[in-house]
Chain A
Amino acid sequence: MRLLLLCAILLCGQTVPASAQSHFVIVSGLGGDNAHRDQFYNWATSLVSTLRETMGVAPENIIYLAERPERDQTLINAKSTKENVTEALSELASRSAADAVIFVFLIGHGSYQGESSRLSLPGPDMSAEDFARLLGGFETQKIVFVNTASASGDFVEALSAPGRTIVTATKSPFERNETIFCEFFIEALAEDVADVDKDERVSVLEAFSYASAEVARYFDSQSRLLTEHAVLDDNGDGVGSSEPDPKGGDGALARVVFLDAGAPTRSLLAADDPELKALYDRRAQLEGQVLLLRNRKEGMEAAVYENELEKVLIELAQLGQTIRERESLLRRP
């Protein structure tokens, strides 16, 4: 069933973009000391800048709560207290469109004290259950919830539900060492390093895979044992995968969820040029065919599969050339 749903999404060309209907809530928790305070501030600020400058997200769609709002009042909306987080998410639940995508991004120290994982905040901490209650306000919206803190693993079980992508920096609440996952997740969004399917956009799945691999590489380069194992859950079963596989488990939804605001230039070009729009539509169709073929691969003879794939890919490549030529023509002054 998951497979069929995925195919349907792609055949219609309907990925889940972070369009004007996307909202971001970034919560940077207690640092505890200056070094961590700076680190969390730098990460969160870098994420906000990336969303605004690289991904074209409107500032009014970003809520940034931090330990010390006075550090940058142009970016930080308020102090990251439990009260403010609750208010921000409740208010967003009441005003966001039914098909909106809500991104929640937690940065900070996590803890686990026998009952549930928590994020350390100025004042009372917030538990996985607190967030679960707040996310309950988003009945129709898609949710992407990324907890980059230590001991964040059991957020998956607490928050998992259909239509939600939950990412945690650790696989369990018992991985309590400070984490580095956040750094690489943001790097995946900010730099041209994670777009492995070369569609010029970074999906949540791509960012997750990149960050996980880089975390492992980082620990290896330091000759240290890996103390954080990030997981992703997007099939609603409450069990995170460290290596999501869209073909048969987690990853199908995260693969088509993007943080960027789409491709406005292309949209504008296509809006003015029906011929180009038709080419884009055909390209989406062909990409969908590639995906369909991939899903049928195991039941096909290798040579037959290869030939059919080649046929579609050649048309796609030729179409790509045509599109580029057309785009180039339209961009000329």
Chain B
Amino acid sequence: MKSRTCWILILLGAAQLAPDSAYGQEQLAEAITALRSGRYDAAISQFSRALRRDSRSADAARGLVAALSEVGRYDEAERAARQFRSENPSSGRLDNSLGEVLYATGRIEEAEQLFTAASASEDSLVARYNLAVLWFDRGQVDQAMAEFDRFIDVYNRGGGLTSGELSAVASAVRYLGVTEPALFRDALRAYDEAIAADPGNLEPRIRLGEMFLQKYNGTEADATFKEVLELNPNSPRALLGLARTRRFNGEPEAATLVEQSLEVNPNLVGARLFNATLSLEMEQFGEAESEVERALQINPMSLEAMAVRAAAKYLRGDERGFRSGTSTILEQNPRFSGLYTVLAEASARNRLYEQAASFARQAVELDNRCWRGFALLGINQLRSGDMDAGRRNLETAFDGDPYDVWTKNTLDLLDNLQQYTVTTSDRFEFVMDGEESGLLTIYFTSLAEEAYEKLAEDYSHRPATPIRVEVFPHHADFSVRTVGLVGLGALGVSFGPVVAMDSPSARRIGEFNWAATLWHELAHTFHLEISGHRVPRWFTEGLAVYEERRAREGWGNRVSPSFLMAYRSGRLLPVGELNQGFMRPSYPGQLGHSYYQASLVCELIDRLAGHRVLVEMLHGYARGRSTKELVESELDMDLRQFDDVFEQFLEEKFSGVMVAMPSDDPTEAAATRSREQIARRARSNPGDFLAQLEMGRVLFQEQDHYAAITHLERAKSLFPDYAEGDGPYWLLAQIHKERGDTRRAVAELSRMVSLNERHYGSRLELADLLSTLDDERGAARVLTEALTINPLDAELHLRLAGLYAATGDLHGTVRERRAVVALDPVDRAEALYQLAQAHFDAGEWTEARQEVLRSLEYAPSFEQAQRLLLQIHAKRGGGRP
């Protein structure tokens, strides 16, 4: 933060430039225009020329210092400032500028002297602001705040403040906003006035953008930085601001923008630190440290840089380096809570939620007005399942910073969550919307318990219980629970002891399989606990997908044409870089490819050394070992060798289907191809899966089923794993069904559902066909699978109840009758009676009695239920039925 403030003030100096003599006025004006429009070389040259003409021109000297600083040539900036001061010993007009350069490069004491001296000069207001910031950064917070407070009086006295001075006032008021949030609105007004006072001065616009971002307003921040970049496309700080905004908004290009910023100013400390933070998120701790070291070479006293370095060391497991780093920071500023918020954020980004809460707690202990610290503490307590403490701390955070949209969203969500129903099973606590809870717990409970048992056996580990599973009927709520904002694309998340996920009702039917998602997230819970939350993202995702595939036929990602084409074009990442595919995908579809690729890596490790080694690797990560080290120790090969083996594995697995992939991207022109082109393409490419499929589809639509079968069968044989709703299995099944060949239709659909976990219609259709073949058990099995896609259809449960009853599956009947009741049917008495009857048939007299009483409670004259009640009464020894 300190360094960013300094750069602001350097530019502020530039903004205040005005020719101070008639001589060279025109040249100076040109130089200022060049500086403000980002033509920095020209500005430096013009200011230098002006200074050579008149060595007493303080405006030229200040412009030169500003331009040099803007591009990171701090040594030259310092020399220019010192030279002016030595040639003009009676002028104090470069004191503030020199102070800013020295402060930005870590020479605090000398900077303090210069700011103090300049406080009496024409730069007094700006210098006083700089001095107060210096005190603040050094931990003299009360002294600094008292000084910031005086800026309000300055403003209230009104009149005659320049754009730069108004900008300083606004920035001072921002500091005061920590105690009185309404002051941020005053800061906004002062920035607006600063912009109006000199529209060409970009400084207040940049600071305004930074304030918007600080106050969680990504939209306004984005617009403001773009405005600056329209006027000065090379502004390093505007580029950095836009990069940060993009990251805040969850949009791409953050890395590209920060690189652009560093191209203009390779010594911009904030940009280096932003890069380092991105690397930390990518779990590239070495790269992060390199960037921090570069920042510290520029400003060895940057507290923020030291904090990021401490975070990198902590995440890398360098306990000694971490402790030494934190001590150094606190010696410099014992009240620097930013150390712990940086550590908390970095920990949370790396899934170390308990540690994040612990760091955040230290932040608020150090500074009880560190609202970000309270927010981080609360949010990470929630992630660890400590709901009450989490809410309390979030409320504190929001009281202090009512602009924090993450905290507000989460508090709103917690209000809703209080209305949810909590049910428990042996090892789980399910938190679900009351309208869905009765139904979903029937299925979630049995699946979660099964997953726990299976994974506990495979991993020889039993995570702490109860595991809290939160299920959200609105995707936006799940998104807020996960990241504080709406817009997250994921289906579920595991924080370890807490799993949050979309309810089946949160998405359209066929978008996901809730059961596979739950299994996936529970696998993460195991991975996180075994590895002490230090498992890399790529490994836990890959292993979770692999566990899906091990759990049920058809679950887990499957190979797709786009994956095969990415493989062929060399776009799959080496194992050592797989995290990038998750954290910073470089092309559309790479995230999905990375999930699948990572799962194949785990499959290969299992094949090479057994599942035990996958578990051993989790333990290895817990001990702070890297993927490279673990591959070497567990698989006896280095990463390069492993990549080769993986390549062979892919070759072996996919060489057959690879030849069926087209050489170009077939989706590009598919929509515009004429029938003739499609036919020609199919004729000339008999081994091209997509060409055959496309022709098959055309013929299917034309109802030329006989010809369609030829192409669809060929497509199927070329790529047997393709089981999407537009694929050969589905189309062939439709054709066979229409032709009355039920058995062949059943065969196609059976294969399809064994490969596709999300396709609902194929399961309903298959069940229908199986019923016509009197295979009621098969139909029941398929419809039970359909429930993992859509458990909310009452008709499906009724049908399943009938099938179970017909096949003598009494417990299955009871379960489905329970589901019908849980769906709150209009005819509740009938549903309860049917449930009671199912219990009765299963010999469960107690349950039967309860349910029939519930039915008759609602409909006392219900004849069938009355008869059943008398039967139950008789069974229980109560007399005549």
Contact = CB atoms under 8 A, between A and B. Distances in A.
Interface of A: 193-194, 196-200, 209-210, 213-214, 283, 286-287, 290, 294, 306, 309-310, 313-314, 316-318, 320-321, 324
Contact of B859 (A199, A214, A286): A199
Contact of A197 (B859, B863, B870): B859
A78 to B, nearest CB: 36
Given A306-B850, A314-B870, A320 B861 contact: yes
B421 to A, nearest CB: 18
Contact of B869 (A193, A194, A317): A317
A253 B670 CA distance: 63
B879 to A, nearest CB: 9
B822 interface: no
B858 A197 contact: yes
Contacts of B863: 198, 320, 324
B861 A210 contact: no
A321 B873 CA distance: 15
B862 interface: yes
Contacts of B826: 194, 196, 209-210, 213-214
Most A Cβ at <10 Å: residue of B859, B861, B866 = B861
Nearest to A286: B860
A17 to B, nearest CB: 15
6 contacts: A197-B858, A197-B861, A209-B826, A290-B857, A294-B857, A309-B853
B830 interface: yes
B357 interface: no
B829 A320 contact: no
B878 interface: yes
Given A196-B827, A318-B870, A290 B853 contact: no
Contacts of A209: 826
B830 A290 contact: no
* Shortest 5 CB-CB contacts between residues of A and residues of B: A198-B862, A317-B866, A198-B859, A197-B859, A290-B860
B865 interface: yes
A30 to B, nearest CB: 32
Most B Cβ at <10 Å: residue of A194, A196, A313, A317 = A317
B853 A306 contact: yes
B859 A313 contact: no
B828 A196 contact: yes
A194 B825 CA distance: 11
Given A198-B829, A213-B826, A310-B853, A321 B870 contact: yes
A85 to B, nearest CB: 32
Contacts of A287: 860-861
A314 B878 contact: yes
A316 B827 contact: no
Nearest to A313: B856
Contacts of A283: 861
Interface of B: 826-830, 849-850, 853, 856-863, 865-867, 869-870, 873, 878, 880
Contacts of B865: 198
A215 B207 CA distance: 54
B791 to A, nearest CB: 15
Given A198-B863, A209-B826, 11 more contacts: A196-B830, A196-B858, A197-B829, A197-B859, A197-B861, A210-B826, A286-B860, A310-B849, A310-B873, A314-B873, A320-B863
Contacts of A199: 859, 861
A196 B850 contact: no
B853 A313 contact: yes
Given A210-B826, A213-B826, A310-B849, A317 B857 contact: no
Contacts of B869: 310, 313-314, 317
Contacts of A194: 826
Contacts of A306: 850, 853
B859 A309 contact: no
Contacts of B853: 306, 309-310, 313
B441 to A, nearest CB: 20
A299 to B, nearest CB: 16
A228 B863 CA distance: 35
A214 B858 CA distance: 20
A317 B859 contact: no
Nearest to B792: A220
B855 to A, nearest CB: 9
A196 B849 contact: no
A316 B853 CA distance: 12
A290 to B, nearest CB: 5
A294 B865 CA distance: 18
B774 to A, nearest CB: 29
A249 to B, nearest CB: 18
A196 B870 contact: no
A198 B857 CA distance: 11
Contacts of A286: 860
A196 B828 CA distance: 7
A166 B542 CA distance: 59
Contacts of B858: 196-197
A327 to B, nearest CB: 12
Nearest to B828: A196
B176 to A, nearest CB: 46
Nearest to B849: A310
A200 B870 CA distance: 20
Most B Cβ at <10 Å: residue of A196, A214, A318 = A196
B788 to A, nearest CB: 20
Contacts of B827: 193, 196
B812 to A, nearest CB: 25
Contacts of A200: 861
A321 B865 CA distance: 12
Contacts of A324: 863
Contacts of A310: 849, 853, 869, 873
Contacts of A193: 827
Contacts of B861: 197-200, 283, 287, 316, 320
A195 to B, nearest CB: 8
Nearest to B861: A199
A196 B829 contact: yes
Most A Cβ at <10 Å: residue of B826, B830, B867, B869 = B826
Contacts of B862: 197-198
Most A Cβ at <10 Å: residue of B830, B853, B878 = B853
A324 B850 CA distance: 25
A320 B866 contact: yes
A169 B878 CA distance: 48
A200 B830 CA distance: 13
A170 B214 CA distance: 45
B857 A309 contact: yes
A316 B830 CA distance: 18
A214 B829 CA distance: 17
A283 B853 CA distance: 17
A317 to B, nearest CB: 4
Nearest to A206: B826
A320 B863 CA distance: 8
Nearest to A197: B859
A316 B870 contact: no
Contacts of B859: 196-199
A173 B488 CA distance: 37
A253 to B, nearest CB: 19
B761 to A, nearest CB: 14
A312 to B, nearest CB: 8
Nearest to A283: B861
Most A Cβ at <10 Å: residue of B849, B858, B866, B873 = B866
A205 to B, nearest CB: 12
B44 to A, nearest CB: 61
A182 B829 CA distance: 25
A198 B834 CA distance: 14
Contacts of A210: 826
A203 B856 CA distance: 17
Given A198-B859, A200-B861, A310-B853, A317 B829 contact: no
Contacts of B878: 314
A316 B849 contact: no
A193 B830 CA distance: 11
